[in-house]
């Protein structure tokens, strides 16, 4: 299993005395501790370090970790320029970029951002898929692109990634998103609160992949989950409630209705994450539920101690037949 961390690039996750330049040191510590990847979020809702700027800063000071977005919102950027920025990060990192994309959500996390981007909310999923198709075409050297929504003639030569295409994952768990993931994306990064929903979603993704002539291993099964290692479940939930209110403006009981959340003692966290491994997750992106950088570092150290056990469990699950995940 690949196990990564989401770096706290949003100011809501910093303390008054925190220096955002410490995010680079935190990323390097995560790599040394054995984490497989470093991911960053993307939004205009809360002040934060811009996602691709953060990855560009990490690229030359890390060696092996995957650098990823969770999730990049392509509609916030001009599509051709975004392709060049992504290719540049991939080049600077030596081919370590993974791009999770999303189309935004209803409410304050979606529609107002489309207004700021001067794009219509309608047909946002078609626009997302066409943007990804445009990126891939540009990286293949295309000089024009004609979709239903995006039209470009006489495209100039663009920066090419270190690899042909960086992997592009989709974040989302609606039936339509599952079908689109299986058909055209390289990975799936949802955050379902119930591992059973993860298992059923992965079954649907693999079914769509098979229908499109793709193999199950063509789509990386990933998971985004908020984690807090504490003395026990009660103290962990109190800290997570503070986190949910500070970052999302909602109590924990509402947050965990829509997002995967795991907390408690080290053994309890291990058991909670293993339930998702049992459901098929093979790349877990962990958001450290803490509200200042020293506490983030403490959570990183606590989770690093769990890495050998998590990977051992995943290795056992990976050796089982695929039908255990519902795929024949």
CATH architecture assigned to 2-325: Alpha-Beta Barrel (3.20)
- Verdict on whether the full-model pTM lies above 0.85: yes
Structural tokens at position 196: 């059973």
The pLDDT score that the predictor gives to residue 267 is 96
- State the Cα–Cα distance between residues 88 and 91, nearest whole angstrom: 5
The DSSP call for residue 159 is P
Report CA Rg, the chain: 19
The pLDDT score that the predictor gives to residue 320 is 52
Q: Where are the alpha helices (DSSP H) in 120-161?
A: 124-139
Mean pLDDT taken over the chain: 94
Dmax over CA atoms of the chain, in Å, equals 60
CB 283 within 8 A of CB 9: no
Question: In sequence order, what E strands does the chain have?
Answer: 2-6, 37-40, 66-72, 97-101, 145-146, 151-152, 168-170, 187-188, 220-229, 261-264, 283-288
- Per-residue confidence at 112, pLDDT binned at 50, 70, 90? confident
- Domain residue ranges in the chain: 2-325
Using CB atoms within 10 Å of the CB of residue 119, give its burial: 0 to 12 exposed, 13 to 18 middle, 19+ buried.
Answer: middle
* 201-259 pLDDT per residue, tens: 999 999 999 999 999 999 999 999 999 999 999 999 999 999 999 999 999 999 999 99
Q: What percent of the chain has pLDDT over 90?
A: 87
Judged against a pLDDT cut of 90, whether residue 105 lies above it is answered with no
């Amino acid at each position: 299993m690949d196990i990564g961390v989401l770096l706290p690039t949003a100011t809501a996750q910093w303390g008054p005395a925190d220096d955002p330049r410490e995010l680079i040191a935190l990323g390097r510590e995560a790599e040394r501790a054995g984490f497989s990847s470093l991911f960053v979020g993307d939004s205009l809702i809360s002040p934060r370090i811009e996602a691709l700027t953060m990855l560009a800063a990490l690229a030359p000071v890390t060696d092996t970790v995957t650098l990823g977005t969770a999730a990049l919102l392509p509609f916030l950027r001009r599509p051709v320029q975004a392709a060049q920025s992504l290719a540049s990060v991939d080049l600077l990192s030596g081919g370590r970029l993974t791009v999770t994309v999303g189309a935004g959500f209803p409410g304050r996390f979606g529609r107002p951002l489309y207004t700021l981007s001067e794009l219509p909310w309608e047909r946002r999923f078609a626009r997302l898929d066409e943007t990804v198709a445009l990126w891939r075409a540009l990286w293949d050297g295309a000089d024009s692109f004609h979709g239903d929504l995006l039209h470009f003639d006489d495209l100039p030569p663009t920066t090419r990634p270190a690899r042909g295409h960086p992997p592009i994952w989709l974040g989302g768990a609606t039936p339509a998103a599952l079908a689109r993931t299986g058909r055209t994306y390289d990975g799936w990064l949802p955050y379902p609160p119930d591992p059973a929903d993860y298992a059923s979603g992965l079954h649907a993704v693999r079914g769509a992949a098979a229908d499109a002539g793709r193999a199950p291993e063509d789509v990386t099964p990933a998971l985004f989950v908020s984690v807090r290692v504490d003395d026990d479940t009660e103290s962990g939930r109190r800290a997570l409630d503070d986190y949910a209110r500070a970052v999302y403006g909602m109590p924990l009981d509402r947050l965990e209705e829509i997002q995967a959340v795991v907390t408690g003692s080290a053994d309890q966290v291990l058991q909670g994450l293993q339930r998702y491994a049992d459901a098929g997750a093979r790349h877990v992106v962990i958001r450290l539920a803490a509200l200042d950088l020293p506490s983030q570092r403490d959570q990183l150290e606590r989770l690093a101690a769990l890495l050998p056990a998590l990977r051992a469990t995943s290795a056992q699950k990976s050796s089982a037949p695929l039908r255990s995940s519902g795929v024949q």
